[in-house]
Amino acid sequence: MPWLLWLEQVPHPPKLLLNCEPGLNKAKAGDHVLDICCGSGDLSFLLSQKVGSDGKESSGVLSKNAMCISKLSYHVTGLDFSKEQLLVASSKQHSKNCFSNIEWIEGDALDLPFSNGSFDAITMGYGLRNVVDRPKAMQEILRVLKAGSRVAILDFNKSEELLTSTIMEWMIDNVVVPVASAYGLSEDYKYLKTSIRGFLTGKELEKLALEVGFSSARHYELSGGLMGCLVAMR
């Protein structure tokens, strides 16, 4: 199940990151973009269309686990710790010739296998909430991002509004988990409510970004406060 069924009632999550002005990571034609925690590649595919076929060659160091390597210059790099998810992304890519500008790398968000200042823009969808060391993850993003460039991080929003958080928890209990169970994925989503409770609020995310060295940071609530996007500039 690529995206939770109830989220189909709002704009497609990756498109929230690219098409909503607050969440726009400013990736443009010709850029080299990193998608951290890329999963099955939905956001990476959108990014590949955005930067086009004239992107720059990667200046970073490829992991020994890099997948789908060809003679082409790579303009989008999708990184995930799950080889299984990368295989899904790779299989989807092979059926879409327009996505030949993507490379897939098995790697750790806490130890990115790239040189300093390698990327013109970085995205991260539904990943920061799940890493074991959020400050370290943000430090690594800062390190591999070029000066003056931005990262956009999309995730569930830990709202400070009681009504919004109550609605979200109700939807998780009564829609998300039951639908996931029907697909045999109940164990993958039972943790969701707990992980959101343990996540950072928008203000806390802004503070974290500034503390690790970003020059500016702003968190935007999307989809009625159910989603949030942190945009930070190096």
Quote the pLDDT of residue 17: 59
Token pair for 146? 């070029």
- 56-76 mean pLDDT: 46
Please provide the DSSP assignment of the chain as one string. Answer: --S-GGGGGSS-HHHHHHHSGGG-----TT--EEEET-TTSHHHHHHHHHH-TTPPPP-SPPPTT-BS--SSPPSEEEEES-HHHHHHHHHHHHT-GGGTTEEEEE-BTTB-SS-TT-EEEEEEES-GGG-S-HHHHHHHHHHHEEEEEEEEEEEE---SSHHHHHHHHHHIIIIIHHHHHHTT-HHHHTTHHHHHHTS--HHHHHHHHHHHT-SEEEEEEEGGGTEEEEEEE-
Residue pair 77/60 in contact (Cβ under 8 Å)? The answer is yes
Instruction: Please list, in sequence order, all residues whose beta carbon lies within 8 angstroms of the beta carbon of residue 163, skipping any fewer than 6 positions away.
Output: none
Instruction: Select the more confidently predicted residue: 144 or 94.
Output: 144
- 89-112 mean pLDDT: 86
Lowest mean pLDDT among 26-40, 70-84, 112-126, 154-168: 70-84
Residue pair 202/228 in contact (Cβ under 8 Å)? The answer is yes
**Region for 225 from its dihedrals, namely left if φ exceeds 0, alpha if ψ lies in -120 to 50, beta otherwise:** left
Structural domains for the chain: 13-157+200-233 (3.40.50.150)
**Residue 114 pLDDT > 50:** yes
**What's the chain's average pLDDT?**
81
What does the alpha-carbon distance between residue 26 and residue 66 come to, in Å, rounded to a whole number? Answer: 26
What does the alpha-carbon distance between residue 126 and residue 105 come to, in Å, rounded to a whole number? Answer: 18
What is the pTM for the complete model shown?
A: 0.82
Quote the pLDDT of residue 51: 84
pLDDT tens for 203-221 read 999 999 999 999 999 999 8
Quote the pLDDT of residue 77: 95
Q: What percent of the chain stands above pLDDT 70?
A: 77
Residue pair 123/103 in contact (Cβ under 8 Å)? The answer is no
What does the alpha-carbon distance between residue 79 and residue 82 come to, in Å, rounded to a whole number? Answer: 9
- 82-108 mean pLDDT: 86
Quote the pLDDT of residue 29: 78
**Residue 222 pLDDT > 50:** yes
Q: What percent of the chain stands above pLDDT 90?
A: 47
Token pair for 167? 């609605």
